[in-house]
């Protein structure tokens, strides 16, 4: 791993680490990112056209069907070695704040605590009209590969139930956004993992950390606008790069290897 001895030592001394994740961290668990082309029923759509309140108002069955198909994918998926490395890192540094843009619960299932979900959760549906929380029936939805239109259930007020996520044009949850901003302002190290850094306002967080003098590290197999701005750019899939980073800097590899042998977890690379 190409990190100077000086930087390694500074990373090791970090009191507060922020880990900021995007869809790329769940890619190796089989969850498509927002840059992947949609397939089946949704192949002529762009995720940006479906993830809006307008789309849900105009075509609730198309949008609800998409979310039920994605909820099935999430419930069937297992955390991968990147999720597990992040959970391990939490035990190795004095303070860690995990901020995710993801609506899945793979960080929690990997053992991370107090995850700040900036874009909500696919598991917390609520009423589109009165915002009353709703509950999904137990079990994993069974949806055809190519997807299907599905009428959303109704609230007792008569309104349609919608997924508990933050769509384009909607504000981020106040508490999570404010905690994420505070953490970006206060941290010593900011890790940016598997995000295109295109969607605002979340994409501002790495810049906030940079402006406050934090060391910034990016892990992504593809180029982003942060490549030339971060302190350390580590190109590659998070499931391979992150366990190696945690091992090299914080010495968490031994237990990490144990953790990645959990059923369904992607395998850890050799150091």
Which active-site residues does the annotation give? 119
Check residue 168 for interaction with ligand BJW (CB under 6 A). Answer: yes
Residue 103 found at the interface with ligand BJW (CB under 6 A): yes
Contact present, 34 and 167 (Cβ < 8 Å) = no
CB atoms within 10 A of CB 156: 9
Q: Are the C-beta atoms of residues 71 and 31 closer than 8 Å to each other?
A: no
Using Cβ positions, the residue closest to ligand BJW within the complex turns out to be 24
Q: Quote the CA–CA distance of 37 and 44 in Å, as a whole number.
A: 9
Choices 16-24, 125-133, 210-218, 247-255; region in contact with ligand BJW by CB under 6 A: 16-24
Residue 159 interacts with which of ligand BJW, Zn ion, none, CB < 5 to 8 Å by class:
Zn ion
Contact criterion met (CB below 8 Å) for 206 and 232: no
Quote the CA–CA distance of 32 and 70 in Å, as a whole number.
Answer: 9
The DSSP line for 214-227 is -EEEEEESS--TTT
**What torsion, rounded to 10 degrees, do the Cα atoms 228, 234, 236, 242 define?**
-140
Tell me the closest approach of the beta carbon of residue 138 to ligand BJW, in angstroms.
Answer: 22
Q: Does 222 bind ligand BJW (CB under 6 A)?
A: yes
CB of 129: closest distance to Zn ion in angstroms?
5
Q: Write down the least CB distance from residue 103 to ligand BJW, Å.
A: 4
List interacting residues with Zn ion (CB under 5 A): 127, 129-130, 132, 155, 157, 159
Residue 180 lies near ligand BJW (rule: CB under 6 A): no
Phi, psi of 99 (to 5 degrees): -115, 120
| Integer CA distances (angstroms), 198 to 23, 47, 59, 164, 263, in order | 12, 14, 26, 21, 33
CA-based nearest residue to 265, from 93, 131, 86, 67: 86
- Binding pattern for the stretch 60-99 against ligand BJW, x by CB under 6 A and - elsewhere: ----------------------------------------
- C-beta closer to Zn ion: residue 7 or 129: 129
Q: How near is the Cβ of 21 to ligand BJW at its closest, in Å?
A: 8
Q: Are 50 and 220 in contact (CB under 8 A)?
A: no
Using rule CB under 6 A, residue 28 touches ligand BJW = yes
Measured at the alpha carbon of residue 162, what is the angle toward residues 67 and 140, in degrees to the nearest 5? 45
For residue 127, the partner it binds in ligand BJW, Zn ion, none, with Cβ less than 5 to 8 A by kind, is Zn ion
Tokens 């144990």: give the residue.
258
Per CB under 6 A, 51 contacts ligand BJW = yes
Task: Report in angstroms how near the CB of residue 167 gets to Zn ion at its nearest.
Answer: 17
Residues of the shown chain interacting with ligand BJW in the complex, contacts defined by CB under 6 A:
22-24, 27-28, 33-35, 48, 51, 101, 103, 119, 165-171, 194-196, 198-201, 219-222, 224, 237-239
């Amino acid at each position: 791993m190409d990190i100077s001895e000086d930087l390694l030592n500074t990373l090791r001394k970090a009191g507060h680490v922020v880990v900021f994740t995007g869809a790329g961290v769940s890619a190796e668990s089989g969850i498509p990112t927002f840059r992947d082309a949609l397939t089946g029923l949704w192949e002529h759509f762009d995720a940006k056209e479906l993830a809006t309140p307008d789309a849900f108002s105009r075509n609730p069955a198309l949008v609800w069907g998409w979310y039920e198909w994605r909820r099935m994918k999430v419930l069937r998926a297992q955390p991968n070695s990147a999720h597990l490395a992040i959970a391990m890192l939490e035990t190795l540094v004095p303070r860690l704040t995990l901020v995710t843009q993801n609506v899945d619960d793979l960080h929690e299932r990997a053992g991370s605590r107090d995850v700040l979900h900036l874009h909500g959760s696919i598991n917390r549906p609520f009423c589109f009209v009165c915002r009353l929380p709703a509950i999904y029936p137990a079990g994993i939805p069974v949806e055809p590969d190519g997807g299907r239109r599905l009428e959303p259930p109704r609230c007792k007020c008569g309104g349609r139930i919608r997924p508990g996520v933050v769509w384009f044009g909607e504000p981020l949850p106040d508490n999570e956004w404010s905690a994420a901003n505070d953490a970006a302002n206060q941290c010593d190290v900011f890790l940016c993992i598997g995000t295109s850094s295109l969607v605002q306002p979340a994409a501002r967080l790495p810049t906030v950390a940079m402006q406050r003098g934090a060391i910034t590290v990016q892990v992504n197999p593809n180029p982003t606008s942060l490549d030339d701005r971060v302190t350390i750019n580590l190109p590659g899939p998070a499931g391979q790069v992150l366990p190696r980073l945690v091992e090299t800097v914080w010495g968490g590899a031994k237990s990490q290897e144990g953790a990645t042998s959990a059923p369904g977890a992607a395998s850890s690379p050799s150091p």
